[in-house]
Amino acid sequence: MEPIVKHTGNTAVLPRVNVDTDQIIPKQFLKRVERTGFGQFLFFDWRFLKDGSDNPDFELNQPAAKDATILIADHNFGCGSSREHAPWALQDYGFRVIIAPSFADIFYNNCFKNGILPIRLDEEKVYELMENGKDKVYELTVDLENQTITDSNGFQASFEIDDYWKEMLLNGWDEISLTLQYEDKIAAYEEKQSV
Amino acid sequence: MKPKTIIEKIWENHTVLSEPGKPDLLYIDLHMVHEVTSPQAFEGLRLAGRKVRRPDLTFATMDHNVPTTNRQTITDEIAKKQMETLLKNCEEFGIEVADINSPNNGIVHVIGPELGLTQPGKTIVCGDSHTSTHGAFGALAFGIGTSEVEHTLATQTIWQSRPKTMEVRVNGRLAPGVTAKDIILAIIAKHGVDFGTGYVLEYTGEAIRGLTMEERMTICNMSIEAGARAGLISPDQVTFDYLRGREKVPQGEAFERKVEEWKALATDEGATYDAVVEIDTSEIEPMVTWGTNPSQGVGVNGVVPSPEDATSSAERKAIEQSLEYMDLKPGTKMTDIEIQHVFIGSCTNSRLSDLRAAAKIAKGRKVKEGVRALVVPGSQRVKKAAEEEGLDKIFIEAGFEWRESGCSMCLSMNPDFVPEGERCASTSNRNFEGRQGKGARTHLVSPEMAAAAAVAGKFVDIRTLETEATSQS
């Protein structure tokens, strides 16, 4: 997994609440047996018109949102299905950071396993970022080490993150290798519980 | 000793490691696997040269992709490859699989309980968000992503932050014509689509105690639609009676010893939760959703709300967006909404009692012309049991299509879908945009309400129908 220490990139603003993983990656694209190549299907039903051309009204198709690597989203982002294809698609499309007032639990966990930093931020701060990034190219710097978000005009916010996930992302660790260091503890548990 | 909730008891029984600055490392008793969210996990194991730690605690089935007509001829090549990949992976890693030809095949959350794999006090995971279903047995069961599937295969554990606990108390008794589906839809409508985020829910109260196991599964199934990864019900005699004699539970005296263990799991008198929400059964009517998330529902005698009713700008925006997608006007009576499709099935409502309830309404009636109505049993065993009772004949006689088991039109990964712009009365769990097909409009209801809608071509209050079903809960 590619580590994240400090990330600077352009933002895309998606001011919709309860964006579910069925929208992030519709079911017809879940049949692949690979982990890669899902970016082309991200937000498929919103992003493309019936004839396959770009939907000019969709937020990610706005000129200012092209090449964005930071997604600014609204409440309960990633709700619904547990499909990890959702973070795979976001990551493959180019997103490394998602900032929202709240996330669905399973999606939030899935992000960390795929080198995406999900940041929970106060609603007012998120809406301020949305306003700043509305219809224009807007660059943010996210510093995971110091847990801050800044722009070049003086915006500053700090965010909370579990130490465990922070370490994982900073180092790009593989979680299974980490767990296998506790193999003796797992074996002891199995012995004691007779499982 | 401090009184504890069942959630705390199960958590503590399964903690392998608890260190500051980390989530807890939880042991997993049962890992269920299906074809869609597992191929990348097995591939990950292979690339790293890892084994499955406990194939004996792992069980696989195929359900999401399987066709519900001719199961032997799978026309979708990519779906076929995914199913073949599962078979190959299970063979290579030594995992028991209920493949498409197995009498045990079915939706993962239907067959787990049916086989008795699901038991009180277990920790259960599956790469599917509706794993919360198994909580009905007093198990701590939750959905995971594919990386966590791989992690569980390799280590039989998972890192989890200790969740907060929430009691969801359902007071009073269930009125005739009101079902378990209506309870959970009403709870989510009242408290919101994400009130459970960060919590494990425990459903309590007189109404819950009075439910059968299948009804309890319907409730726990939709915990995730409230944002909660898991929702459970303390086990009781109903639970033990359901499990006794099932294939994968201990038999005879060993079972009775288990029952004594399981009894001790129930939440202690005086235990406290981090949060409590309540609903009275007197508030609950047969429910119908009008929007594009499961909280956007009202009683069948209600009307489509207006964005003006919203209490926040975010909610207003959500209502506007839903009404546009659903092509509905504020103030429209729910009973005036016409439907073209009916889907009776899914891990929420495809068990024998669901099919019986729908068949009671269908019996002696006809599906309205222009309506296509599908009945998709949750498993091959449910299908067989229903056919032994003649339910298939009742449905076919009434003009319903009687299908093979699978997830089917709940998420339409297989060939069953609703065409663009058309409406479906569905017993499934999600009314998200495009869930049942691109541009399809889903209204979530109970099996009884779905069957009645098939006959009338629009939503009707089942309590006004003359049938045996109205005298039962």
- Asked if B114 and B213 count as a contact pair (C-beta separation under 8 A), the reply is no
| CA separation for the pair B209, B198 (Å, rounded) | 25
What local confidence, expressed as pLDDT, does residue B470 receive?
A: 42
- Residues of B407-433 as b/e, b for ≥16 C-beta within 10 angstroms? bbbbbbbbebbbeeebbbbbbbbbbbb
| Best CA proximity match to B87, nearest among B76, B73, B71, B98 | B98
What local confidence, expressed as pLDDT, does residue B467 receive?
A: 57
Q: Which of A41, A58, A81 to mutate to test the interface with B (most CBs of B within 10 A)?
A: A81
Interchain proximity B147–A75, CB inside 8 Å: no
Interchain proximity B79–A106, CB inside 8 Å: no
| CA separation for the pair B339, B424 (Å, rounded) | 6
Query: Which chain B residues are closer than 8 Å to A34 by Cβ?
Result: 40, 43
Residue B69 DSSP code: S
Interchain proximity B16–A186, CB inside 8 Å: yes
Q: Give me the residues of A, 60-79, that contact B with CB < 8 A.
A: 74-76, 79
What local confidence, expressed as pLDDT, does residue B469 receive?
A: 44
* B127 shares contact with chain A (CB less than 8 Å): yes
Residue of chain A nearest B83, judged by CA positions: A31
What local confidence, expressed as pLDDT, does residue B21 receive?
A: 86
Q: Which residue among A27, A164, A185 places its CB closest to the CB of B411?
A: A27
Interchain proximity A82–B145, CB inside 8 Å: yes
* A24 shares contact with chain B (CB less than 8 Å): no
CA B29 centroid distance within chain: 20
Amino acid (1-letter code) at residue B454: A
Task: Mark out the alpha helices in B341-379 (DSSP H runs).
Answer: 352-362
Cα angle A187-B231-B473, degrees, rounded to a multiple of 5 = 135
Mean pLDDT of A110-132: 97
Q: How far is CA B279 from CA B136, B267, B382, B388, B423, in A?
A: 19, 20, 32, 38, 30
The backbone torsions φ and ψ at residue B424, rounded to the nearest 5 degrees and listed phi first, read: -130, 130
ipTM for the predicted complex comes to: 0.95
Domains and CATH numbers, chain A: 6-194 (3.20.19.10)
Minimum distance, in Å, between the CA of residue B440 and any CA atom of chain A: 12
Interchain proximity B438–A180, CB inside 8 Å: no
B90 labeled part of a ligand binding site: no
Q: Which residue among B197, B318, B321 places its CB closest to the CB of A102?
A: B197
Alpha carbon dihedral B265, B198, B320, B347, in 10-degree steps, equals: -40
Residue of chain B nearest A168, judged by CA positions: B22
| CA separation for the pair A95, A39 (Å, rounded) | 10
Residues 6 or more apart whose Cβ sits within 8 Å of residue B372? B340, B341, B342, B401
Interchain proximity B194–A76, CB inside 8 Å: yes
Residue B199 DSSP code: E
> What is the DSSP pairing of strand B157-160 with strand B24-27?
antiparallel
> Along the 473 residues of chain B, how does pLDDT read in single tens digits?
899 999 999 999 999 999 998 999 999 999 999 999 999 999 999 999 999 999 999 999 999 999 999 888 888 998 999 999 999 999 999 999 999 999 999 999 999 999 999 999 999 999 999 999 999 999 999 999 999 999 999 999 999 999 999 999 999 999 999 999 999 999 999 999 999 999 999 999 999 999 999 999 999 999 999 999 999 999 999 999 999 999 999 999 999 999 999 999 999 999 999 999 999 999 999 999 999 999 999 999 999 999 999 988 888 989 999 999 999 999 999 999 999 999 999 999 999 999 999 999 999 999 999 999 999 999 999 999 999 999 999 999 999 999 999 999 999 999 999 999 999 999 999 999 999 999 999 999 999 999 999 999 999 999 999 754 444 43
Angle, helix A163-171 to helix A105-112, in steps of 10 degrees = 40
Q: Which of A25, A38, A83, A105 to mutate to test the interface with B (most CBs of B within 10 A)?
A: A105
Q: Which residue among A30, A74, A163 places its CB closest to the CB of B36?
A: A30
Lowest mean pLDDT, pick from A90-94, A141-145, B64-68: B64-68
Residue of chain A nearest B198, judged by CA positions: A105
Question: If residue B195 lies in a helix (H) or strand (E), which one and from where to where?
Answer: none
Q: What percent of chain A lies above the pLDDT cut of 90?
A: 96
Interchain proximity B318–A18, CB inside 8 Å: yes
Cα angle A27-A33-A36, degrees, rounded to a multiple of 5 = 85
Residue position matching structure tokens 């129930």? B266
